[in-house]
């Protein structure tokens, strides 16, 4: 029994090392659009929407700016000025989007996911003119999808060929002149044979309302968060590995890999 307890203790320690390594690869993000005093572009905005550096922001165009003088800067009275952005930081900026009829990606950004981990995608919209022209509060729609960065195609379930991570159209509700949050939560299937190994992923936020007269809104605070309790997935995989019997060899090889990593870490520390 003593040796088994020691084995389990060593394995737990090794898995903690693995978990700390894994967290280094979980590159989730927050987009607050900065605080530039001038109108600026954003590298993650989809190529179908063009940057307007000055003057009007017409259908299919966007700009990133502080919200206190949008009507003056664009010369378009149908926008609305705000005292602050959604982030609420001093001089914070937001994205001004005249989405128009362009049913394409608004925001596209790569990150890494981990097997068994849960994620929450968040984006905030402030509808200035909804789906039926100036002053309308009829709903606008966008969607959140996770894709393979290598192909830009949705990551699919091998069994059903259906996209694994797709929010479908998310409504702004019958809201106008207020910030509305959209969220989409998902969990990556758990594969203990690849636990801790980063999976390249791409968030795509896509316009799902093809409307020229209206469809004018602001965007702020887009984020992807890893909501997984620290170490929970790695511990679940540890528990799934049998200590005795035929699985013992697998555990020993797993521990061998961890021991190598620990030894390497110690060597580096000793230098």
Residues that bind Ca ion (CB under 5 A): 32-33, 85, 87, 92, 94, 98, 215-216, 220
Minimum gap (Å) between residue 174 Cβ and Ca ion = 18
- Whose Cβ is closer to Ca ion: residue 82's or residue 262's? 82
- Whose Cβ is closer to Ca ion: residue 58's or residue 240's? 58
Whether residue 187 contacts residue 118, with contact meaning beta carbons closer than 8 Å, is answered with: yes
Minimum gap (Å) between residue 163 Cβ and Ca ion = 29
CA–CA distance, 125 with 85 (Å, rounded to integer)? 11
* Closest residue to Ca ion: CB criterion: 87
Helix axes 2-25, 232-240, angle to 10 degrees: 140
CA–CA distance, 186 with 202 (Å, rounded to integer)? 14
Minimum gap (Å) between residue 44 Cβ and Ca ion = 14
Minimum gap (Å) between residue 103 Cβ and Ca ion = 14
- C-alpha to C-alpha distances, 122 to 200, 201, 254, nearest whole angstrom: 19, 16, 37
- Whose Cβ is closer to Ca ion: residue 115's or residue 123's? 123
- Whose Cβ is closer to Ca ion: residue 26's or residue 140's? 140
Whether residue 149 contacts residue 200, with contact meaning beta carbons closer than 8 Å, is answered with: yes
Minimum gap (Å) between residue 79 Cβ and Ca ion = 10
CA–CA distance, 70 with 107 (Å, rounded to integer)? 21
CA–CA distance, 97 with 61 (Å, rounded to integer)? 6
- Whose Cβ is closer to Ca ion: residue 7's or residue 212's? 212
Q: Which helix (H) or strand (E) holds 51?
A: strand 50-51
């Amino acid at each position: 029994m003593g040796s088994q307890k020691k084995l389990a203790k060593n394995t737990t320690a090794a898995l903690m090392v693995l978990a700390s390594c894994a967290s280094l690869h979980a590159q989730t993000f927050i987009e607050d659009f900065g605080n530039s005093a001038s109108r600026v572009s954003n590298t993650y905005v989809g190529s179908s929407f063009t940057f307007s550096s000055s003057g009007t922001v017409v259908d299919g165009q966007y700009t990133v700016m502080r919200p206190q003088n949008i009507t003056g800067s664009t010369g378009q009275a149908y926008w609305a000025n705000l005292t602050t952005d959604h982030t609420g930081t001093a001089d914070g900026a937001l994205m001004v989007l005249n989405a128009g009829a362009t049913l394409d990606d608004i925001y596209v950004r790569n990150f890494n996911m981990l097997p068994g981990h849960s994620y929450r995608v968040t984006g905030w919209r402030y509808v200035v003119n909804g789906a039926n022209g100036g002053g309308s509060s009829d709903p606008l729609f966008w969607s959140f999808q996770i894709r393979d960065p290598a192909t830009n195609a949705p990551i699919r379930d091998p069994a059903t060929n259906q996209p694994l991570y797709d929010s479908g159209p998310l409504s702004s509700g019958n809201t106008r002149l207020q910030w509305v949050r959209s969220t989409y939560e998902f969990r990556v299937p758990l594969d203990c044979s690849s636990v801790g190994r980063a999976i390249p992923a791409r968030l795509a936020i896509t316009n799902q309302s093809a409307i020229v007269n209206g469809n004018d809104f602001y965007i702020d605070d887009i984020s992807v968060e890893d909501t997984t309790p620290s170490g929970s997935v790695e511990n679940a995989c540890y528990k799934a590995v049998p200590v005795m019997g035929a699985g013992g060899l697998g555990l020993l090889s797993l521990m061998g890999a961890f021991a190598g990593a620990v030894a390497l870490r110690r060597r580096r520390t000793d230098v």
